[in-house]
Structure 1
Amino acid sequence: MNAALLEITGRPGDVSDRTVRNLINGATQRPIGRTRRALEAVFRCPLKDLRFETPSTTAPPEAPVERRQFIAVRSALALTSATPSFGAPRRIGVSDIERLHRRFADVIAKDHRHGGQRAIEHRAAAMADEALSLQNTGSASHRIRKQVYASAAAFRSSAMWAAIDGRRFEEATGHMRVAQQLAEMAGDPYIKFRIWSHAGTMYRHMGRPTDAIAANDVARKLGVTRQDPLFASLGLARQGAIHGAAGDGTAIRRAFDQAQDALLRADPEAQRPVWMNAFYDQAELDSLALSAYLALGDFERAEAHGHRCLAALRPHMHRSKAIATTRVARAQLEQGDAEPAVASAMTVPADAAARHPRVVGMLQTFGSRLDVIAPGTAHAHTWAQYARDTWRQPV
């Protein structure tokens, strides 16, 4: 019923165990509102066909046993209604889950290359819907169904991240709510960590450090951070970045010291979700430290972490490289080093400089600060000409 409400309204359902028990035992005779819509969607028939009362009918109540038998039959029909009327119903299995995993890996790869694009967001959301629709194509074990929900949650979390990266925070919040419900239905602590960790980053970018800390704390208190130091390290590093936005230098240093220690303790051979293996390592830790110290105003330390990040970034991290390079340029500029700052900024790939919303905004800020720090200089003229001819032009 909750999944049906999610499809119908785009909002998470709130049907509880108690609601279902009351429907089965006859305590609820006349379902209304969202409960009625969910029932009719699940069983694919009007409410009166389920022997419930509606405003226009006064059917006598059934015995609880008869209602349970009827609902059991309707449940079986609903699960098989999407299959052909001939032969055995389709069985959803491991091959279906593996196909979803391959498509998710493709979404992750596109995100690391392009980042923040609406096309990535919409593709990931569509894949989440496709994963959910798989539930109605046949029978499956309880374990497989939970994996389908986990895949749908993973796709939604990628849609959420693409929206965050593109500075579309209202859309990101909508994806977050759907992803959280799907993750609960899946019971998957890894995807729960990803969603809540993304939420902390979203609130940080929105300028809401208190909410960011609270969301990130939910991720950090999940059992996966005790089982695997790599998850503990990521949670601490993102906490450090939030402290940077809040201007707490002592908390920044403590968080990154602990994150570094946890990273060194992590087993590089341990099995982890593809999204974790694809991005979190020493380079990402240094990238988050770069962000934190830049926000704090400790530009020398920020630049040092930036160079460490760029030296360690894996080749497929195109989006991360563009962001780190832009931040290094800003750190150099704030130290009064206009020439190397402009040189660094000019190495940002033109496609990211023109199309990635976060990079575009940071380069615009860089140009504004250059006009303040080194107005009328050759460096300012060089940058203005380069910006006009290169990254502001269609790519």
Structure 2
Amino acid sequence: MEGNKRLDGAMRERGFKQYELADAVNTHLIGRGHEGTVGDRTVRNWLTGRTRWPHPRQREALEAVFGRTADALGFRPPGRRSLTKPSEGPVDRRNFLTGAGGTTVTVVAPFLGAPRQVGTSDVIRLRDGLDALMALDDKKGGHEGLERAALAGAAEALEKQRLGATQRVRQRLFSVAADYTATAAWSALDAQRGDRAHALLGRALYLAGMGRDSVAELQVWNLYAMPANQRGEHSDAVDSAMAAQATTVTKRDPLFASLAHARTAVGHSGRDRQAALRSLGHAREALSKAVPAAPRPSWTAFYGPAELTALTAVVHNRIGNFAAAEAASHRALSSIPRQFRRNRAMATAQLALAQVRQGDVDQACASASTAFELMEGHSIPGRMRSRLGDFYRDLITLAPGATAVREWGDRYRSERSRA
């Protein structure tokens, strides 16, 4: 059986080993919303000629990775005897991803075609694309379009990583890919797609290790703790938060230490009241030592005194201090910046929970309605729908026949079904 010399040559030119090509193709597939099922055996079948015409999605991914047509890579469809189409010349194109309300986000200018060196300017452009996605998340929350855009950014970072001019540039590109992948995982978490988020977090943690990026590692462990809390797996939540505390960046920057302690407090609040309050104290102490204007990745912009106060409300609600939770929610809402619409809506839902658990039905319904108004123009992210669902269950348990409860329930069902 004749081997595929053109694919072999293209791999040598790009410096791909078989498993690396499989990884690049899978990254592209995942970025387009498909399963990444290509393995070493698949690549061997391409190289040996056993598979002469890959699946359409795999062909598309191969063409994107190499910037060449499938024919130019040595593949031929059934019935074709020769490969006559010449290899395409270099192509330079820019991907644009459209977010909510027609928002267009430039993610990267991907390199396709003949190899060229990649440098610091490429890293900066990729970081700019990530910042744009963070701004979109602040307004709309997690959604499928944001996840796709983030995975596309990760795929481009990994493609460029193989062409990095220096080891430092290549390492920074791994770091960028980790940040994009963690952003995709966060979007899946916010949309309540836990299995999908878990797979992406594992990938992000690997990339953070390759990039030797302790900030990205902390981000991933912080995200791991969140679904564990939601599932009631308190030990896993605390263990993940403690792993975040153990990252080296917490020794350099108290803000990161504070975030890790706050996440630990939320984990403890499901079973250990005193440990939760102790961790909150550590979080406040660390944050008091942080330099607000220090350079940090854009994903950290949400965290500061206001967000810590919002997490304090979560902890107090979970340990049964409902009056303290209400007070903390009010303080958080007075200081969370206006551009963080989703965070303000989450804090408002937390306020409504605290109020209904104190028996204040009318005020709780009014507060919960404000959460809908804050997200007006956007669909309600899955995590927020879940929190509002908790509120509704408490509401109908407390006062099932009240007029305010019926009216709020009608609005909740209407908003929940809104695309």
Cα distance in 1 between the residues matched to 2:42 and 2:393 = 54
Equivalent of residue 415 in structure 2, options 367, 383, 391: 391
Equivalent of residue 288 in structure 2, options 254, 264, 267: 264
Which aligned pairs between 1:20-169 and structure 2 lie closer than 5 A?
A: 90-136=116-162, 138-169=163-194
Pair 1:9–1:274, CA change in 2 (3 A): closer
Tell me the secondary structure at the aligned position of residue 334 of structure 2.
helix
Cα distance in 1 between the residues matched to 2:258 and 2:329 = 18
Cα distance in 2 between the residues matched to 1:212 and 1:97 = 33
Cα distance in 1 between the residues matched to 2:88 and 2:337 = 44
Conservation of the 8 A alpha-carbon contact between 2:164 and 2:170: no
Equivalent position of 2:298 in the other structure? 274
Conservation of the 8 A alpha-carbon contact between 2:313 and 2:350: yes
Aligned length: 335
Pair 1:155–1:3, CA change in 2 (3 A): farther
Cα distance in 2 between the residues matched to 1:322 and 1:257 = 25
Conservation of the 8 A alpha-carbon contact between 1:243 and 1:252: yes
Unaligned ranges ≥5, structure 1: 11-32, 48-80
Q: Does 1:248 align with 2:272?
A: yes
Equivalent position of 1:366 in the other structure? 391
Q: Does 1:348 align with 2:371?
A: yes
Q: What are the Cα deviations for residues 270-308 of structure 1, in whole angstroms up to 9, with x where unaligned?
A: 2222211x1110111111111122122221111111111
Pair 1:179–1:83, CA change in 2 (3 A): farther
Q: What are the Cα deviations for residues 116-167 of structure 1, in whole angstroms up to 9, with x where unaligned?
A: 211111211121112112234x451111111111111100000111111111
User: Normalization by structure 2: what TM-score?
Assistant: 0.73
Q: Does 1:188 align with 2:205?
A: no
1:90 deviates by 2.1
Q: Which has the higher helix share?
A: 1
Q: One-letter code of the match for 2:201? A: M
- 204-213 or 359-368, which moves further after superposition? 359-368
Unaligned ranges ≥5, structure 2: 1-16, 28-37, 50-86, 91-113
Q: One-letter code of the match for 1:97? A: V
Conservation of the 8 A alpha-carbon contact between 2:261 and 2:280: yes
Conservation of the 8 A alpha-carbon contact between 2:24 and 2:158: no
1:171 deviates by 0.3
Cα distance in 1 between the residues matched to 2:275 and 2:130 = 35
Pair 1:185–1:83, CA change in 2 (3 A): farther
Equivalent position of 1:301 in the other structure? 324
Cα distance in 2 between the residues matched to 1:358 and 1:35 = 37
Conservation of the 8 A alpha-carbon contact between 1:354 and 1:360: no
Q: Does 1:318 align with 2:344?
A: no
Pair 1:175–1:333, CA change in 2 (3 A): same
Cα distance in 2 between the residues matched to 1:3 and 1:178 = 14
Larger-gyration structure (1/2):
1
Pair 1:392–1:229, CA change in 2 (3 A): closer
Cα distance in 1 between the residues matched to 2:115 and 2:386 = 53
Cα distance in 2 between the residues matched to 1:230 and 1:135 = 30
Pair 1:385–1:179, CA change in 2 (3 A): closer
Equivalent of residue 351 in structure 2, options 328, 337, 360: 328
Cα distance in 1 between the residues matched to 2:265 and 2:404 = 33
Pair 1:355–1:131, CA change in 2 (3 A): same
Tell me the secondary structure at the aligned position of residue 140 of structure 1.
coil
Q: What are the Cα deviations for residues 197-246 of structure 1, in whole angstroms up to 9, with x where unaligned?
A: 111122222221111111221111111111111111000001001111x2
Cα distance in 2 between the residues matched to 1:8 and 1:386 = 44
| Identity over aligned pairs, percent | 33
Equivalent position of 1:338 in the other structure? 361
Pair 1:148–1:336, CA change in 2 (3 A): same
Pair 1:46–1:349, CA change in 2 (3 A): same
Cα distance in 1 between the residues matched to 2:287 and 2:349 = 25
Equivalent of residue 379 in structure 1, options 394, 404, 411: 404
Cα distance in 2 between the residues matched to 1:331 and 1:82 = 62
Q: One-letter code of the match for 1:268? A: P
User: Normalization by structure 1: what TM-score?
Assistant: 0.77
Cα distance in 1 between the residues matched to 2:115 and 2:233 = 50
1:45 deviates by 5.4
Q: One-letter code of the match for 1:281? A: G
Equivalent of residue 311 in structure 2, options 288, 307, 321: 288
1:269 deviates by 2.8
Cα distance in 2 between the residues matched to 1:46 and 1:185 = 31
Q: What are the Cα deviations for residues 335-372 of structure 1, in whole angstroms up to 9, with x where unaligned?
A: 01112111111111344695311222222332232222
Equivalent position of 2:253 in the other structure? 228
Cα distance in 2 between the residues matched to 1:309 and 1:249 = 21
Conservation of the 8 A alpha-carbon contact between 2:189 and 2:383: no
Q: One-letter code of the match for 1:132? A: L
Q: Does 1:4 align with 2:21?
A: yes
Equivalent position of 1:53 in the other structure? none
Q: One-letter code of the match for 1:259? A: A
Cα distance in 1 between the residues matched to 2:404 and 2:212 = 55
Pair 1:311–1:6, CA change in 2 (3 A): same
Pair 1:139–1:392, CA change in 2 (3 A): closer
